[in-house]
Every structure is written in C-alpha cells, then in structure tokens.
C-alpha cells in the first residue's frame, strides 16, 4: 500500500491509515451506527474492538485508507474478503464512511477512487458494496461510480424497530481473466 494517494478526481488527500487514526475512524463509524442504517451494527463499537479490527486488517494484508484535511480524518474506507472460500479470491467487499459534517464535498469519491485503484493494483476482478435499500444517498453515490445493482435481499436486517432490505452493488474492475 502506497503511503499517500491523492485522488485525481477531487484533490482530497487519501493515505493508508495508521493505528493512531483508529479513534477518528471509530468516531465516524459510531456516528453512522447510532444515527443510520448504513451499518447493521446495533450498538456503538468499542475502541478496543476497532483496534482489533484494524490489526486484523493489517495482518491479513487488506488496506485501510483515510481521507484527511490537514490533521483531521474526514473519512475512511477499506475492503476485504467477499466470502472466505479461495475461489472468491478475485472479489472483495468494500466499506466507505465519510464524517457526517464532511459529506457532499467529494470526500467519498476520493476514497473510492483510491479503493478502486488499490483493488486494480492487487489484480482484483470485481468489487461488491452492501448498501441498505433505504440509503438513497449511498445508492446514488455507488451508481455514480459505475456500480450496478445486482441483488436485493428482503428483510435480512432489523434495526430501529423495522426490517431492513440490503442491496448489493457490483463494479467490474476490467481486469483480464486470470489463468488459474
């Protein structure tokens, strides 16, 4: 993972996250957990568990990226296994979260440009995003990046006293077919 990538699209700096960024990543994530159905976590996550999550990501060789404005972390993104069996090795599932007061300024686009570039560098074939069906902003965001809706799972989640539908969106990364 390169140390710093600057998005060609929006000029927002994106770099590999360090362990010191985890509290800011946690704050952004927990805001979404508490206020939205972007995550199907029901309770805020502890710093200890997010540090553990970060350590496992690094240990398993998956990228964790942050967008920054000076010293401030404005968003983060990652990807990892879509499913565990080795036949899925050319597919990854990503997550992207922008700080609530920094949305609509091109930060998400910069993070996803870095995610997509990194996925291509790793020879991945396709990226999957799982988005709550009521999250119109994220659905529009992903479709704007070229993702297409490929699945709509009905009532697979439950949060805030109601059933939640989950949409999978997929991006073809345009890689050649591997030999094995």
Ligand X SMILES: CC(C)(COP(=O)(O)OP(=O)(O)OC[C@H]1O[C@@H](n2cnc3c(N)ncnc32)[C@H](O)[C@@H]1OP(=O)(O)O)[C@@H](O)C(=O)NCCC(=O)NCCS
Contacts to ligand X by CB under 6 A? 32, 38, 95-98, 103-109, 129, 131, 135, 137-138, 140-141, 144
Nearest residue to 96 via CA among 83, 80, 120 = 80
Q: How far is the CB of 94 from ligand X (least distance, A)?
A: 7
- Is 38 or 68 the residue whose CB approaches ligand X more closely? 38
Q: How far is the CB of 176 from ligand X (least distance, A)?
A: 28
Q: How far is the CB of 70 from ligand X (least distance, A)?
A: 17
Find the residue with minimal CB distance to ligand X: 108
- Is 69 or 179 the residue whose CB approaches ligand X more closely? 69
Q: How far is the CB of 168 from ligand X (least distance, A)?
A: 11
- Is 70 or 87 the residue whose CB approaches ligand X more closely? 70
* Distance (Å, whole) CA 16 – CA 3: 6
Residue carrying the six token digits 């927990």? 30
* Distance (Å, whole) CA 5 – CA 111: 10
Name the helix (H) or strand (E) containing 79: strand 72-81
- Is 14 or 87 the residue whose CB approaches ligand X more closely? 14
* Distance (Å, whole) CA 52 – CA 46: 10
Neighbours of 34 (CB within 10 A): 12
């Amino acid at each position: 993972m390169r140390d710093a990538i600057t998005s060609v699209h929006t000029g927002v700096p994106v770099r590999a996250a360090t362990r010191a960024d985890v509290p800011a990543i946690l704050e952004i994530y927990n805001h979404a957990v508490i206020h939205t159905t972007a995550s199907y976590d029901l309770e805020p996550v502890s710093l200890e568990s997010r540090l553990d999550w970060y350590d496992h990501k690094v240990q398993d060789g998956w990228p964790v990226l942050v967008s920054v404005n000076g010293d401030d972390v404005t968003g983060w993104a990652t990807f990892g296994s879509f499913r565990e069996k080795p036949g899925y090795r050319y597919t990854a599932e990503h997550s992207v979260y922008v700080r609530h007061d920094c949305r609509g300024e091109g930060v998400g686009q910069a993070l996803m440009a870095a995610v997509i570039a990194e996925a291509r560098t790793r020879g991945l074939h396709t990226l999957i995003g799982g988005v709550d069906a009521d999250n119109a902003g994220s659905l529009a965001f992903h479709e704007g990046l070229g993702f297409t809706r490929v699945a709509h799972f009905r009532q697979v989640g439950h949060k805030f006293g109601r059933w939640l539908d989950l949409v999978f969106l997929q991006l073809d990364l345009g890689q050649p077919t591997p030999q094995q």
